[in-house]
Chains A and B, each alone.
Chain A
């Protein structure tokens, strides 16, 4: 699996968009980019995933660069409840979807 690099932490103002970067320069053509988050000590929560195209769902948007070497998760209107550790994970093996979590980005949303 491709390795990912994320900033260790970032702050965001409540109500503003939070843009979380992820670098995955060694990603291969069949690997997907997944985003999960973990609020305090709860179980990780799936946010979104994508292969090449930008994706949007009710939680967030995922923007993947054309060369696929980096991506950005966008939380459009951050709330205090979005304070969490956000993980960018690259997965490709269709027969095995175990997730390899790194340290992620600790996002603190401030009022």
Chain B
């Protein structure tokens, strides 16, 4: 069964550094998403992406964040200058019609 994959599974970085989280969505899906979950809190929507552009973003998704689909398979989330409060699980998701399929997540730890 096709699935969304994410790399790395765990990323440790120092405050102020740039990180890129990578996702490979399901191949025939057209809509892509990033969510995050701070430990012990709710899953929060960050951004949705369709037809090579951002379709919606949340207040969390400020100028420090960007997304890209550099080729036909990868979907990336970049955080330009990480802060301690960016420490969280980051989930990528993709969909074709109704249901979103989530990846296993990348745990980002900012020290």
Q: How far is the CA of A100 from the CA of B100 in the complex (A)?
A: 12
Pair B105/A43 contact, Cβ less than 8 Å: yes
The residues of B that contact A102 with a CB separation of less than 8 Å are 42
Binary flags per residue of A67-111, CB closer than 8 Å to B gives 1, else 0? 000000000000000000000000000011111111100000000
Q: Interface size on A (CB < 8 Å)?
A: 19
Instruction: Let me know if B59 is at the binding interface, CB within 8 A.
Output: no
How far does the alpha carbon of A46 sit from the alpha carbon of B44 in the complex, in Å?
16
Q: Is A21 an interface residue (CB 8 A)?
A: no
- CB B17 to nearest CB in A, in angstroms, measures 23
By the criterion CB–CB under 8 Å, are B42 and A46 in contact? no
In Å, the complex CA distance between A38 and B100 comes to 13
8 contacts between A and B (CB under 8 A): A34-B98, A43-B91, A43-B105, A97-B31, A98-B33, A98-B48, A99-B43, A102-B42
Beyond A44-B43, A96-B48, A98-B48, 10 additional contacts (C-beta under 8 Å) are A41-B107, A43-B103, A44-B91, A49-B98, A49-B99, A97-B100, A98-B33, A99-B100, A101-B44, A103-B42
